Amino acid sequence: MHSVFHPHVSDAPAQFLIPPHHMNISIIGASGYSGAELMKLLLRHPHAEIENVFAHSAAGKRVDEVYPAFRHRTDLVFQEYALDAVRSSDCIFIALPSGEAMRIVPELIDAGLRVIDLGGDFRLKDSVLYQKYYRHPHTAEHYLPGAVYGLPEWNRDAIAGAQLVANPGCYVTSALLPLLPLVKEGIIDPAGIIISSLSGISGAGRQSSVSYSFTETNESVKAYKAGVHQHTPEIETVLRAFSNTDASVTFVPHLIPITRGIYSSMYGRLAKQTDIAAIRALYDSYYASAPFIRVDEAKYPEIKHVQGTNYCDIGFALHEANNQLMVFSVIDNLLKGAAGQAVQNMNIMFGFAETEGLG
Amino acid sequence: MHSVFHPHVSDAPAQFLIPPHHMNISIIGASGYSGAELMKLLLRHPHAEIENVFAHSAAGKRVDEVYPAFRHRTDLVFQEYALDAVRSSDCIFIALPSGEAMRIVPELIDAGLRVIDLGGDFRLKDSVLYQKYYRHPHTAEHYLPGAVYGLPEWNRDAIAGAQLVANPGCYVTSALLPLLPLVKEGIIDPAGIIISSLSGISGAGRQSSVSYSFTETNESVKAYKAGVHQHTPEIETVLRAFSNTDASVTFVPHLIPITRGIYSSMYGRLAKQTDIAAIRALYDSYYASAPFIRVDEAKYPEIKHVQGTNYCDIGFALHEANNQLMVFSVIDNLLKGAAGQAVQNMNIMFGFAETEGLG
Amino acid sequence: MHSVFHPHVSDAPAQFLIPPHHMNISIIGASGYSGAELMKLLLRHPHAEIENVFAHSAAGKRVDEVYPAFRHRTDLVFQEYALDAVRSSDCIFIALPSGEAMRIVPELIDAGLRVIDLGGDFRLKDSVLYQKYYRHPHTAEHYLPGAVYGLPEWNRDAIAGAQLVANPGCYVTSALLPLLPLVKEGIIDPAGIIISSLSGISGAGRQSSVSYSFTETNESVKAYKAGVHQHTPEIETVLRAFSNTDASVTFVPHLIPITRGIYSSMYGRLAKQTDIAAIRALYDSYYASAPFIRVDEAKYPEIKHVQGTNYCDIGFALHEANNQLMVFSVIDNLLKGAAGQAVQNMNIMFGFAETEGLG
Amino acid sequence: MHSVFHPHVSDAPAQFLIPPHHMNISIIGASGYSGAELMKLLLRHPHAEIENVFAHSAAGKRVDEVYPAFRHRTDLVFQEYALDAVRSSDCIFIALPSGEAMRIVPELIDAGLRVIDLGGDFRLKDSVLYQKYYRHPHTAEHYLPGAVYGLPEWNRDAIAGAQLVANPGCYVTSALLPLLPLVKEGIIDPAGIIISSLSGISGAGRQSSVSYSFTETNESVKAYKAGVHQHTPEIETVLRAFSNTDASVTFVPHLIPITRGIYSSMYGRLAKQTDIAAIRALYDSYYASAPFIRVDEAKYPEIKHVQGTNYCDIGFALHEANNQLMVFSVIDNLLKGAAGQAVQNMNIMFGFAETEGLG
């Protein structure tokens, strides 16, 4: 097992636990969709003050010029990133493409700053695995062991004391939250779990590409990177670490013509006799006090129920003839799958209510 | 095994094989989406003449009043169905909801007429299974053994001589075409195959229901009838009949916000060592001469490639770490999944080129 | 001129101006889309407490059963309306279809309660005009003179003291906000203004109708009620009242395949020489302190900039060759076009900051 | 008046009128959406044989590699354009961006070839006007006078004998067909006609641009180039030429989230007393024998009725209070607005039935 996730150990200095009244926030890579969602959430957050928004391609432009939805809401201007500009920030969010965060994180950590990285650079502990799936070498391996995986429902204590939080992938969040209790408690066979996921096009980021144009994607669906998507090792690594099994998954993402949202349909072979009520009780035992997880065995989840929110809705059904458990989950890929979960992590790191600014 | 599909036996009278120069066609249940597609196809078909279009709810209305897209194309008027009106028809299509065709088919068959039923009433041979999934008893059991399953790529000879063709379900078509060669040749384990399918909203028919309104379905996805959809026994029955295995599937349909199209993602455990090239060769051996099947292992299928056509596109990939084969297929649910396949069957029944009117 | 809108006179008792710390709220007709938006806004509003939600068709059901998006957010249960249940409410919202509010409003007003009606029953002062466009007689004419038109940017003082506020129509809001300054200041000819508006399908309400099904509306557009839509007299009446002109409009609504949002494109003949800068200055003089109006002559408004918000964005351009002013506006039909504006009115009526709960 | 459209004069050599049994076709710029539609139509056309498809960016690739929808339909390969390759072509279609056709047309015309240009380079007779709206100089002015405007319903005879046909713009087609009879017969004031048009995103072409990505365009609408779109002078020039008036229009295009289709809503002041029946009779007198024009005063046109077809549907209504005529039209922008109309023109040029291959 690769993972060294350690929920109970925290090297974080004690002062991390004292929440400043108004926290200064910097966002690096603020002009993409996750960055824009972060700004939207943090502008409303009662304890946050956005100090800097960095975006190389948009440097010098007002935020509301790039995103007119922000008119009347902020006078912030995108800047070029510089270490000196963030030294006064209590919390730094990074929303950069893979490969770019690892060039900046070291100097931030060395400067004693607290960082939440929304990208994939610090989610895997194994740099060989990273290179295999992300197709470039990891250049900040030294910082991997200290990164804390930011799945609050499973790693709350470690997150609270973390200096560097690796915010989970969007597909990964939608898969781990429903699967972890089932795998950990031996309800389903940890081997060969099928994860068939559907994502809205915003998941591809703010790209100029024929492939993501309206005309090419509307009224269509396509699978992509079947079995080779970079979220596969992340799902497996975390599933193994938190369940103490040797879980393996076949993960297939599909693009569907919606803007926001992920629908994951998961299929596992039952490893023991069970029934709907028992599975519901199991979920309750794990998630009854998790504010953003809603389990309902009586209704299939629907993406529209979570759009614009930080919820993960979970449903499930048994196919007894085939001894299969079918599990369904939905999240908003830009919120619980990215910016919302990042703010949830920030709340935990700084001692605020977990739901603060996310209601 | 329930099935009595009999590809080599035909009780059809000899004159069935003589194609009339212009065939008279009747459509019963013509005002739904499948009926409208049938009209569109048959108005363009070089050997067909639509004689009657029956629709109880629209009786007395011109077709182009209900569907203005037909203005300038036809003067047909929807009528109430009457047996006498169809005696001169060479081929009768039925596009009624389940439970209604079985009230009409007996008198049509007894009158010596040839029938293609697009609904589910004559697809299963087992009336107990029918009642379990369709939730009402079968009232024309006597006619079940004579019905020929209308999947042309697997049952061409029987279709050619059939008096009553049961046109396959939309999801079923999308699943059977890619799975049958794999199961029959022992490539994948016939047990526990996962079929995760996505359908456009037209699959729900022309319904006045809040559930299928734009506002409720747009920007959303939901699974439904997981494991209990009526296409489950149809997939299993036909899969078993044509592959001589005891195949079982877990089938989950999902509604996605597109108008037309089905995307099926299928997951099977490899039953023998194989590779991409061998699977491609296998498909070619079955489908090289099938005009409407396009296999491409290099590109994922996309719904937009088949919209408005009778094609079924198939793609696949291996997930070797998990010993899984992932198979993907797309069809237009109203064409290869309904009206297009019905016309393909008519072409076969009456000796026309299989692609006539479907190009 | 029909109107008796009276911005400076208020018969409201003095105690209306004392805001209760936590206001009790009732919503009558809470199970439609506007009702659901009201619940969403008021559950987040710092000074509101929802006391009752009434919905005949859903009576007895939990709100989160009808709208699973509300799980974890509220335990409210839809009830049958009864006058006694609302006597303790500080503010009562009505979100019923036209013709139903006028059966309830009289008893509410007579009981001294303050009411905001989101429907059309109290927007027109002229019951003959009402009957002509709404196709049924008005049965509460006596209460029409006292109703205050709830367009905050033009009627703030009257709203503050009102007992009964008639919340404007969605299309109407999108048209009046950009047109009023232009007509009042004589920039454009008040006669023959063209208003070509596009609305998302949620504007049709939560209906089970083939016409609003996904399959019928997706990938399509249709105009409807051209020149005869019931918002035509509302636009004209209010435009005349607030501009002191005899304005007339040709208003054509269109349904487009989006869930939420209205785009109005308006065309007026210039009545005096002007230029872009002067028009911008004019808008600033009216709206510089209006928190929800954003004017930008440099960028065309886009629906996505206002979705989920209470903003009205306005843009404009001159076509000098034809002496025409082209004006464009966007709103979220369920917020600034319905529930958002209603809460804005409530804030004004009860002395809260106009933006409270709408940020 | 700029125009020199001359419906009755043709310099075309006599042999133009003799239709070859199978015509050889070349398409220059075949890899865009209009090019792809041309291929789809011509592959089905009973008298056409596609000889060459040219596309610089895709040269060397099979058509079905770029557009997998063409698998099983053609083995054509995109090539680099060369004059020698097209000398044997009976008809050459050009589907290039503005500014590129004018670099190729001269050598084609000089070689005696017959050309249909789907772009804007030869639609305006006035090169100054061209430069003003297209933002680059015209480099083939000498060939402008000979170009015949390809609106079949108004210029059939000239098209029949033309060597160079300028296929109309998409918005232009949707506006001219309904407006021309009204303006020519003095029903509406030719000055100040309002044209408010909505287009699907495919109208922007096959572009890699954030602006046309699904995430930026879905659930939104935006006007663009209000009053300054390059189709404005085309509408005015042709309207004037064919109606003998000094017509002027204010034209505003909007992008809406559909793939294909244009909806144009037009507003004109009545110039004489009239009624619905008289206008209907007027349209019939012009279009009763036009196979692709369908007029219906009783139903508003809808884009879905014409999608995938070459029809233009027209509806209208009177707003008597304001003395306005409201006219509505719909086309498929890629068919009647581009490739379909081009094939209609080819049919006329080569003596085939006007509807051949377009049914």
pLDDT digits (tens, 9 = 90+) for C183-226: 999 999 999 999 999 999 999 999 889 999 999 999 999 999 99
CB-based contact B296 D219, cutoff 8 Å: no
In 10 A of CB D342, how many CB atoms? 27
Phi, psi at D55, each rounded to 5°: -160, 110
Find out whether D25 and D48 touch, Cβ atoms under 8 Å. yes
Percent of the residues in chain C that have a pLDDT greater than 90, as a whole number: 93
pLDDT at D29 over 80: yes
Contacts of C68 in chain A (CB under 8 A): 296, 299, 302, 305, 313
Task: Give A14's contacts (C-beta < 8 A, 6+ positions apart).
Answer: none
Is the per-residue pLDDT at D6 higher than 50? no
% of chain A beyond a pLDDT of 70: 94
Q: C11 pLDDT exceeds 70?
A: no
Q: Is the pLDDT of residue B116 over 70?
A: yes
Q: pLDDT digit string (tens) for C131-172?
A: 999 999 999 999 999 999 999 999 999 999 999 999 999 999
Q: What is the largest CA-CA distance in chain A?
A: 63
State the span(s) of chain C assigned CATH 3.40.50.720.
14-167+338-349
A interface with C, Cβ–Cβ < 8 A, is 44, 68-69, 71-72, 219, 291, 294, 296, 299, 302, 304-306, 308-309, 311, 313, 359
| Pairwise pLDDT comparison (C21 vs C301), residue with the higher score | C301
How confident is the model over D250-300, as pLDDT tens digits? Answer: 999 999 999 999 999 999 999 999 999 999 999 999 999 999 999 999 999
Q: Residue D330 is which amino acid?
A: V
The amino acid present at A268, given as its one-letter code, is G
**Which residues of chain C form CATH 3.30.360.10?**
171-331
Chain D interface mutation, best of C195, C265, C309, highest count of D Cβ atoms under 10 Å: C265
Whether the Cβ atoms of residue C95 and residue C29 lie closer than 8 Å to each other = yes
First to last CA, chain C: 37
- In b/e form, how buried is each residue of B247-256, taking b as 16+ CB within 10 angstroms? bbbbbbbbbb
DSSP secondary-structure letter at B14?
G
Query: What residues of C are labeled active site?
Result: 170
Across the range B125-134, mean pLDDT stands at: 97
d(CA C226, CA D328): 10
Chain A residues lying within 8 Å of D212, measured CB to CB: 213-215
- SS3 at position D255: strand
CB–CB of A201 and D213 under 8 A? yes
The residues of A carrying an active-site annotation are 170
Give per-residue pLDDT as tens, C47-105: 999 999 999 999 999 999 999 999 999 999 999 999 999 999 999 999 999 999 999 99
**Residues of chain D positioned with their CB less than 8 A from the CB of A215:** 33, 200-202, 204, 206, 212, 259
Taking 60 as the threshold, does the pLDDT of residue A9 lie above it? no
Specify the pLDDT at position C20. Answer: 53
Tell me the sheet residues that pair with C291: none
Q: Is A62 helix (H, G, I), strand (E, B) or coil?
A: strand
**Which of B170, B238, B266, B306 does the annotation list as catalytic?**
B170
CA A316 to chain CA mean position, Å: 22
DSSP state of A213: B
Local confidence band at D164 (pLDDT 50, 70, 90 cut-offs):
very high
pLDDT digits (tens, 9 = 90+) for B48-82: 999 999 999 999 999 999 999 999 999 999 999 99
Q: Name chain D contacts of A213, Cβ cutoff 8 Å.
A: 201, 206-209, 212-214
D136 pLDDT more than 50: yes
Chain C: residue nearest B220 by CA? C259
Residue B154, CA distances (Å) to B148, B150, B357 in order: 11, 8, 21
Mean pLDDT calculated for residue range A202-227: 95
Give the pLDDT score at B21: 65
The phi, psi pair for B91, rounded to 5°, reads -145, 135
What confidence score (pLDDT) does residue D207 get?
86
Say what the pTM is: 0.95
CB contact under 8 A, D299 and B72: no
Whether B350 shows a pLDDT value over 80: the answer reads yes
Q: Summarize pLDDT for A10-42 with one digit per residue, the tens.
A: 444 444 545 556 899 999 999 999 999 999 999
pLDDT computed for residue A3 by the predictor? 36
Give the pairing of strands D262-269 and D193-199.
antiparallel
- What is the rounded CA–CA span in Å between residue A342 and residue A93? 8
**pLDDT beyond 60 at D86:** yes
Inform me whether the pLDDT recorded for B13 exceeds 50.
no
Considering the candidates D96, D129, D170, D325, report the single residue annotated as catalytic.
D170
Using the predicted structure, report yes or no on whether residue C6 has a pLDDT greater than 60. no
Convert the pLDDT of each residue in A254-285 to its tens digit. Answer: 999 999 999 999 999 999 999 999 999 999 99
Q: Which of C252, C226, C97, C231 is nearest to C171 (CA)?
A: C231
Question: Does residue A2 surpass a pLDDT of 60?
Answer: no
Rounded to an integer, the average pLDDT of B114-125 is: 98
Find, among C42, C44, C6, C51, the residue nearest to C24 by Cα: C51
Mutate to test the interface with B, among D71, D293, D335 (most CBs of B within 10 A): D71
Give the domain A14-167+338-349 fold.
Rossmann fold (3.40.50)
Could you tell me which chain D residue has the CA closest to the CA of B359?
D44
Q: What's the one-letter identity of residue D116?
A: I
Q: Indicate the Cα dihedral angle D185, D191, D194, D200, nearest 10°.
A: 70
Q: Is 60 exceeded by the pLDDT of residue B255?
A: yes
CB contact under 8 A, A226 and B256: no
pLDDT at C343: 98
Three-state DSSP at B344 gives helix
Pairing of strands B249-255, C91-94: unpaired
Are the C-beta atoms of residues D100 and D79 closer than 8 Å to each other?
Answer: no
pLDDT at C9 over 50: no
- What one-letter code names the amino acid at A207? Q
Indicate the pLDDT class of residue B359, thresholds 50, 70 and 90: confident
What is the H or E stretch that residue A196 is in? strand A193-199
Which chains does A contact via 3+ CB–CB distances below 8 A?
B, C, D
Report the range of poorest mean pLDDT among A3-7, A91-95, C315-319, D128-132: A3-7
pLDDT range class, residue C297, cuts 50, 70, 90: very high
CA max distance for chain D: 63
For an interface test with A, give the residue of C71, C219, C289 to mutate (most A CBs within 10 A): C71
Residue C294 has its nearest CB partner, among A71, A302, A359, at A71
Tokens of C218: 């997706």
What digits encode the pLDDT tens for the residues D208-237? Answer: 899 999 999 999 999 999 999 999 999 999
- Indicate the residue of A296, A302, A359 with minimum beta-carbon distance to C44: A359
- Nearest CB to C359: which of A44, A291, A305? A44
Task: Determine whether the interchain pair C218/B215 forms a contact, defined as Cβ–Cβ distance below 8 Å.
Answer: no
Q: Which residue has the tokens 């690096």?
A: A28
Task: Spell out the SS3 assignment of chain C.
Answer: CCCCCCCCCCCCCHHHHCCCCCEEEEEECCCCHHHHHHHHHHHHCCCEEEEEEECCCCCCCEHHHHCHHHCCCCCCEEECCCHHHHCCCCEEEECCCCCCHHHHHHHHHHCCCCEEECCCCCCCCCHHHHHHHHCCCCCCHHHCCCCEECCHHHHHHHHHCCCEEECCCHHHHHHHHHHHHHHHCCCECCCCEEEEEEECHHHHCCCCCHHHEHHHHCCCCEECCCCCCCHHHHHHHHHHHHHCCCCCEEEEEEECCCCCCEEEEEEEEECCCCCHHHHHHHHHHHHCCCCCEEECCCCCCEHHHHCCCCCEEEEEEEEHHHCEEEEEEEECCCCCCCHHHHHHHHHHHCCCCCCCCCC
Contact B122, B147 (CB under 8 A): yes
Query: What integer best gives the mean pLDDT of chain C?
Result: 94
Q: How many CB atoms lie within 10 A of CB D291?
A: 17
pLDDT value, residue B351: 96
User: Rounded to whole angstroms, how far apart are CA atoms C232 and C237?
Assistant: 9
Which pLDDT score, from 0 to 100, does residue C200 have?
Answer: 98
Under CATH, domain C171-331 is a member of which superfamily?
A: Dihydrodipicolinate Reductase; domain 2 (3.30.360.10)
Give rounded-to-5 percent helix, strand, coil for chain D. Answer: 35, 20, 45
Of residues A50, A33, A78, the one with CA closest to residue A339: A33
